[in-house]
Chains A and B, each alone.
Chain A
Amino acid sequence: MKTILFILQKEFIQVLRNRTMLLLIILLPFIQLLILVNAATFDMKDIDVYVVDKDLSTTSRELVSKFEASPFYNLVNKSFNMEDGHDKLLRDQAELIVHIPSHFEHDLRNEHHAPVQLLIHAINGTAAGLIHAYSATIISGFNQQIAVEWSQGKLAKANQPLEVVYSYWYNPEMNYKIYMVPGILVILVTIISLFLTAMNIVREKEMGTIEQINVTPIRKYQFIVGKLLPFLVIALFELAFGLFLGRMIFDVPVVGNLGVLFGFTLVYLLVILGFGLFLSVISESQQQVMFVTFFFMLVFILMSGIFTPTESMPDWAKKVNVINPIAYLMKVIRMILLKGSGFMDILKEFYSLLIYAVLSLGLAVWRYRKTV
């Protein structure tokens, strides 16, 4: 026990003496939260729209004015020239062309039917889908309006037998940031704990200090505990610090119990520390461990459901996520913070991670014991 204390003391001196590291630990939450949360948003604003109105009738102008009035659109140009519109789309100066053919009003009045063409820049499929959805809403709204106007109210009632009323739960304002902040916190905690652990032990190998340690009476478990505990503490501190920043800057709700969150994160960190230890035991240099760690991090993060819900992933991806520790915390931290889930609600995830922690740490320790 005393030996562990001495190792801990040494580790903390080393971490606190490393200015770059210290700065990183403090700055990382700020940078990640401020930049990533603000940048990684799915809300579309300022969609550049190019209008080709060949009809120039009252009705077509009214439709164009709907686009102009919407805060989501930014009118680039209006013309009769489809070629110019294509050109703008090609040069990335417009994201959407609204094409209203001639005789639009005439057809609508006489044949009760007229086409409007939307050309959407679709390199980014998600954005294109959103643009389409927004535009379709505007057009169908306009459709409803003229239908009511022209039929003096008769048609409207007949066309809308059901009225849908939305209520968004757990994030009533559909604020994307509130969804992102917990996700970023997970990334933060993972980076800090995984990288620091993996790099630290390899560093001892690289510098040859592990040789000197191995000839002392220090037992392996003492060394491991002494090595992992500081990073566990630092990672939990990061979570608290990041949560505080998220609360102050983005007003992220904390509906659930923080004790449950920290308890769950603790188990999660055991899994990650086990991973870090294992990677550092099988690696020979910091470069190697960096590369392997980065690879796993990237795959696990992108599959964890930080941007897209895991439920909409294909079946095989869902199965892969069973061994993705990040996916567990990603889900649970949102459940606790936004929904207020209690311990009983996350029981399944808790036990899964607990088993995972035993496996990951066990594997790492077993592999470590085999080396001298």
Chain B
Amino acid sequence: MPAVTVDQLRKSYQDTVALKKESFRVEPGELFGVIGPDGAGKTTLFRILTTLLVPDQGQARVEGFDVVKDYRQIRHITGYMPGEFSLYMDLTVAENLRFFATIFDTTIEENYHLIRDIYQQIEPFKHRLARNLSGGMKQKLALSCALIHKPRVLILDEPTTGVDAVSRKEFWEMLIQLKKQDITILVSTPYMDEAGLCDRVALIQQGSIMKIDSPARILEDFPRKLWAARSNQPYKLLQDLREYIDLASVYPFGDSIHITHKRDEMDKQQLEDFLQQRGHPDIEVAPARPTIEDCFMDLMNQGT
């Protein structure tokens, strides 16, 4: 039995469609990433799975329980960490953890082994009020609270948004550790670079899932050859490239500009000549390895 089944799920708010009849499955023990920009429908999907929202159409099951009919059972077996910190600011670290343990009818001691690695890092501050914790510590506390009842499915909504690079890396290491405890993890993120850490990812955009696969396979499926162009006038370069014929896509990527050509083989020399004429004496065009972000951009272009 899959850990999560989503079948033709649809949800709209007034005129905006947040989810357009989407379906997918998550296998037990998987670390499944839902990747997409803000407003793509990630939070809506997670709120349906955590029984906070009722879908307009379609079905969703968590561990075999229907999110509408069996919402009560689902609340016992899922752990949810919302995008915004939502523990009690005026309770201490220990009080928050104990409160969430007790309302799930368990104790900190009983499931301490699950959260040990995470909680140990904030345990020295356990008598500090949650509001006085740093961003990274708040996040560790939130994760501890979401885990304390030993959920079978853990749902994390943008846990790394607004967190510094070091804490983000630490956080993903924690998730990979948790996977070993047989917990299915669904995590959403707007950061494409985090996709590579998941077993499988769903790329989502404007309420539709464009692709679901393992990160490696998604990269393999990138359809064209990717080039990176670099000059010391990046903005002018972008404008000039857009005028060049037969390019399939042109978009800035870090300090360079990624381009793909409509045909498989692009005449690199011809492009460089064109750009030198346009006033880019130091132009440099080289083949590049696609990333998830490139795949995302490509899928987005296909869609429109």
Contact = CB atoms under 8 A, between A and B. Distances in A.
Interface of A: 2-3, 6-7, 10, 13-14, 17-18, 207-209, 211-212, 214-218, 372
A216 B72 CA distance: 9
B104 interface: yes
A35 to B, nearest CB: 30
A320 to B, nearest CB: 37
A215 B99 contact: no
The prevalent SS among residues of B at the interface is loop
A225 to B, nearest CB: 14
Contacts of B76: 217
Contacts of B105: 2-3, 217
Given A13-B91, A14-B91, A214 B102 contact: no
Interface in B32-66: 50-54
Contacts of B25: none
A119 to B, nearest CB: 61
Given A13-B95, A14-B91, A217-B72, A211 B100 contact: no
Contact of B52 (A6, A17, A215, A217): A215
Contacts of B50: 215
Given A211-B86, A217-B105, 13 more contacts: A6-B99, A10-B95, A13-B91, A208-B82, A208-B84, A209-B86, A212-B86, A214-B52, A215-B52, A215-B78, A216-B75, A217-B72, A217-B103
A217 B149 CA distance: 11
Nearest to A212: B86
Contacts of A208: 82, 84-86
B145 to A, nearest CB: 8
Nearest to A6: B102
A208 B102 CA distance: 20
A207 B88 CA distance: 8
A3 B103 contact: yes
B80 interface: yes
A218 B102 CA distance: 11
B104 A217 contact: yes
Contacts of A207: 86, 88-89
A152 B76 CA distance: 99
Contact of A212 (B78, B82, B90): B82
Interface of B: 50-54, 72, 75-76, 78, 80, 82, 84-91, 95, 99-100, 102-105, 145
5 contacts: A2-B102, A211-B82, A215-B52, A216-B100, A217-B75
A2 B89 CA distance: 23
B90 A18 contact: yes
Nearest to B79: A215
Contacts of B85: 208
A78 to B, nearest CB: 66
A101 B104 CA distance: 89
A218 B52 contact: no
A207 B82 CA distance: 12
Contacts of A17: 90
B104 A216 contact: yes
Nearest to A223: B103
A215 B90 contact: no
Contacts of B51: 215
Contacts of B91: 10, 13-14
B156 to A, nearest CB: 12
B26 to A, nearest CB: 18
A251 B52 CA distance: 55
B80 A218 contact: no
A167 B214 CA distance: 94
Contacts of B86: 207-209, 211-212
B20 to A, nearest CB: 22
B87 A209 contact: yes
B146 to A, nearest CB: 9
A217 B84 CA distance: 21
A31 B86 CA distance: 36
A211 B157 CA distance: 12
A217 B85 CA distance: 20
B52 A14 contact: no
Nearest to B81: A212
Contact of B90 (A2, A14, A218, A372): A14
B99 A212 contact: no
Contacts of B88: 10, 14, 207, 209
Contacts of B100: 212, 216
Contact of A10 (B75, B78, B99, B145): B99
A212 B80 contact: yes
A215 B95 contact: no
Most buried by B among A3, A17, A18, A209: A209
Nearest to B155: A215
